[in-house]
Each structure stands twice: as structure tokens, then as C-alpha cells.
Amino acid sequence: MSDTAERHPFLTGLSKHRGAPATCLVIFGASGDLTARKLLPALFNLGVDNLLPARFTLIGFGRKPIPDDEFRSVTVKEISKFSRRPFNDAIWKRVEADTHYQSGGYDDPASFEALKARIDSLQAAAGQEFQLVFYISTPPGVFADIITNLGAVGLASRALGTDRETKVIIEKPFGKDLSTARELNAVITRHFEERQVYRIDHYLGKETVQDLLVLRFANAIFEPLWNRNYVDHVQITVAEELGVGTRGGYYDTSGATRDMLQNHTMQLLALTAMEPPVSLDGEAIRDEKVKLLKAIRPLSLDADNPDFVRARYEEGLVGGDKVPGYTQEKDIPADSSTETYCALRFNINNWRWAGVPFYMRSGKRMARRVTEIAIQFKPPVGGLFDSDTRYDLAPNRLVIQIQPDEGTTLTLNSKVPGLEPRTQPVKMSFRYATTYGSDTPEAYERLILDCMVGDRTLFIRGDEAENSWKIFTPLLDHWKAAGREGLETYPAGSWGPVAADRLLGSRGHAWRNAGM
């Protein structure tokens, strides 16, 4: 048995098509909440599944000086608390020696020189060169500093052009508007090639989101109907029961539109509406997403018929408990004009979707936590059953549930058994947990693994981020100029403001609330 197999026997059954070279992963923001709740558990579960590289080294990087042993102890506690699988001490003991911590300032070049020296020392001890993966899990204000310092000390260009070239993972937000997104991209491209950059949106790692491509392009019954001739409209909902909690200070500078719609929800729209890619190659898929974003018409900001509704929650009942309104939350100023809810109406200017509205909404303190895509089809031509009240008919609707109950539901109309001719809607449902079991990999497991093996399919390209901001920046500028004017309200625990119903009602549509 090789030295690697002796040190990491649980990593020897690597999937042949998913293997990555010897890798050193550096997490900037190692003491942060994302690292504790998602990143460390994801790495542990990749190890359990034999999907980490045979040689894997982890370095946590943060401002606070922490000895290696203390960082290892903290890592054990966080994995034990947040992993989807029970902590396994035998597995941990085999990787413990390759877990380290490096302290330093994100804006301090000397700290990055020290990081480089630490990596070189670990490589020398291992007797082989590592693929370097830098995960930036910090507040966005230091993104540029970290990227610049990685470039300045030569870590960004390490092994460039080989299978061990450096990669960098960047968490959202990718700017806060078009100009800041361009500024961030300019910093990135000064030090990294685009192929080295993995802008992460964890929604793209969810199983049901990935299944969109299979649902559309591997089932002949759907793709021929996936166009303006058969689709009446599309609704995308990302609803949360929770309020802002302890994130008030951050959230008030962001709001629902920046926090959820511009990134997560636009990814769902792009995958739902894009043209078929020429192949499953990551760049081919990302090309089609960019084309789709470019085809979206500018949002109408006309006061008489706008394509948007914004609102914030007021005091109400959630799960039977009374909860405060947004401006009563911690760290929220009384005169805040930040929206906790936004609904939008998009029109896509291409042959496939001309005339088909795409509705999108996201909000906090809503009636239920749910993320879904609902494709509603047009009624049958002729209306054979329309003239008789005995026929209870519903539109055919395909609903892709992304969370919390992952699966797909198709609504059809069926005859009710009996001598009297009656009909009623029925649902055909598929649930991931029922078919495949409940132990589904977390999104971050898939995305970290994809980065290590060099698969960029589920990551966001620089031009994609900019084209999304082109759509949203005029809207955000309009709201900034308007202040609180036009800001609607809705009671916590509801499905949002009445104005959002009018947004759909003007086209003869209604939000899909009752069926959720």
C-alpha cells in the first residue's frame, strides 16, 4: 500500500471520472458562519464519499491568531454540529494532521507572503506540488484586497496552464450594481484568467436546479411544449418565513432584490428559459445563459404600469407567533427604505418566449418557506369542456420544487369515477426523498468538488454577472431616487402585498399560493 493510502485509506476509492490532483484548499474567512455551517461539513462529507483528492490539505485563514490545534478542535465541533452525517472520529484522525490555520490581514501583503511560505513548506513535506484552491468566504469589502494580494505574491499564477493551476472561488455578492461588478471583474482579470475563477451561487448546486437540464432536454414530452405556443406564463417564487434575524445591519444595505433576486432567482430563470446548449460542456451552457439574459427587455419603471412591486413586512403572525415589523428589528433604522419583498415581471425578446410573462418574487416573513418554478400551460384549443359547470378544470402546470421538499409535480385534469360526467384536477408527483432517499448531498459538496476537478458548469461567468446587473441597476437607481415613495407593506406571515396581486392581475394571472 502506498504512503498516501496508508495515511488516507478512506480516500482510496476515488470515482474514476471525478478525481482531482493533490489539492491545498485555503479558506479566507475561516472563522465565519458559512465556513462553520457549510464549508467544513461539505469537506467532511466529500471525504466520507471518497471524493476528496488522495492528498488533501486544508488551511484556514483569518485575522485572529489561532493555533493549529485550536482550529482543529473548532473544526471537529462545527462538523459535529452541522454535518448531514454523524461525525466519525476514525475518519477525522486520518486528516487531522493536514488541517492548519494561518493568521493575517486580508489587506496585508506580508500576510500573503507568509501564507505562500506556509504552502511551500507543506508541499516540500509532502514531496509533491499542490493544486491551490482559494475560497473567499469573507465580507465583499475585502474581495479585491485578497485577489490583489494573491496576485502580488505569485499565488494566483502558480502552475498556470497545467492541471494544477490555481483556482479561486468567490462567494456572492459580485458587486452591488453594474459599476461595482465591473470594478470587481477588472480586479479579478488583472490577476486570474477567467477559467481560474469560480463565482459560486449555491442554488446551482441544488439537485432540483441541476435536474432542470435533464427535465428539459432528456424528456421529449417537455421540450416541444417549452415555448410561447404552449406556455401561458412562468412563476418563480423564493419565499422565506424568517425575518432578518441578526443580519439586520447587512440586510438593510442589500434588500431582497440584491440578496435573492439578482443572483439566485435569475439563475433559475436563465436555466428555465435558455435555448438548448450545443453540448453539456460548461462553457456551452453558460453561453446560453448569457444569451438569455441579453434577451430580457428592460424593466418598465412607468408609474402607471410598472414591472415591479417592492414592499417590506410589518408586524404579524408567523407559525402562530407574533413577530415584529422590519423597522422594529435589531439594527434597522426607523426611516429605512429597504425592501424585504420584491416581485418583478419580465418579458423576453426572442422567438421562444415572445409574449410570455415571467413573474419572479422573493420575500422575507412570508406564509411559508418555499422555492419553486411553476410553468403554466395554455388551455386546450376548442374548450370542449368549458361550457358545463360539472367540469372542474385547472390549467396544466409543471411545478419544480427546489426547497424544502425537492421534486416535481404535474397537474392534469381527470374524469371522476362514477356514472355522472365530472372532472377534477389531479397531481402526478415525484419526490427526491421518496425515490432516492433523504441523504442527498448538500449544494456546497457538489460545488467544491466541481471546482477541484475543474468543472465550471455550475458557476457564474464574469459577463453573466454583469448582464444580470444591467437588468437590475436601473431599477435599484429608481428606488434610490424615490426613497420610501411607492414602498408597499404586507403583514408578516402573508404572501406579500396586494399590489403584487395586481402585477399579475393586469395580465389575467394570479400567484400560485393556494396550491403550495
Q: Of 420, 372, 429, 428, which is closest to residue 392 (Cα–Cα)?
A: 420
Amino acid of residue 276: P
The total of other beta-carbon atoms located within 10 Å of residue 10's CB is: 16
Residues 6+ away with beta carbon under 8 Å from 470: 178, 293
Q: Vertex 79, ends 155 and 20: CA angle to 5°?
A: 40
Q: What is the C-alpha to C-alpha distance for residues 285 and 209, in angstroms, rounded to an integer? A: 14
Q: What is the C-alpha to C-alpha distance for residues 328 and 174, in angstroms, rounded to an integer? A: 29
The alpha carbon of 194 is separated from its chain's Cα centroid by a whole number of angstroms, namely 20
Residues 471/338, Cβ–Cβ less than 8 Å: no
Measuring CA to CA, how many Å separate 128 from each of 22, 59, 123, 334?
A: 8, 17, 6, 58
Q: What is the C-alpha to C-alpha distance for residues 474 and 479, in angstroms, rounded to an integer? A: 9
What does the block give as the cell for 194?
477567467
What does the block give as the cell for 499?
399590489
The alpha carbon of 57 is separated from its chain's Cα centroid by a whole number of angstroms, namely 26
- Residue 264 annotated to the active site: yes
**Rg value, the chain, Cα:** 25
Amino acid of residue 453: V
Q: Of 184, 340, 203, which is closest to residue 272 (Cα–Cα)?
A: 203
Cell 461525525 belongs to residue: 87
Residues 59/32, Cβ–Cβ less than 8 Å: no
What does the block give as the cell for 338?
429597504
Q: What is the C-alpha to C-alpha distance for residues 70 and 64, in angstroms, rounded to an integer? A: 12
Q: Which long-range contacts (CB under 8 A, 24 or more apart) does 96-100 make?
A: 96/72, 98/56, 98/57, 98/58, 99/57, 99/58, 99/60, 99/68, 99/71, 99/72, 99/75, 100/57, 100/58, 100/59, 100/60, 100/68, 100/71
Residues 6+ away with beta carbon under 8 Å from 256: 310, 339, 340, 341, 342, 362, 363, 364
Measuring CA to CA, how many Å separate 83 from each of 14, 37, 130?
A: 21, 8, 27
Q: What is the C-alpha to C-alpha distance for residues 471 and 300, in angstroms, rounded to an integer? A: 11
- Phi then psi for 209, rounded to 5 degrees? -65, -45
Active-site choice (8, 100, 233, 264): 264
List the catalytic residues.
Answer: 264
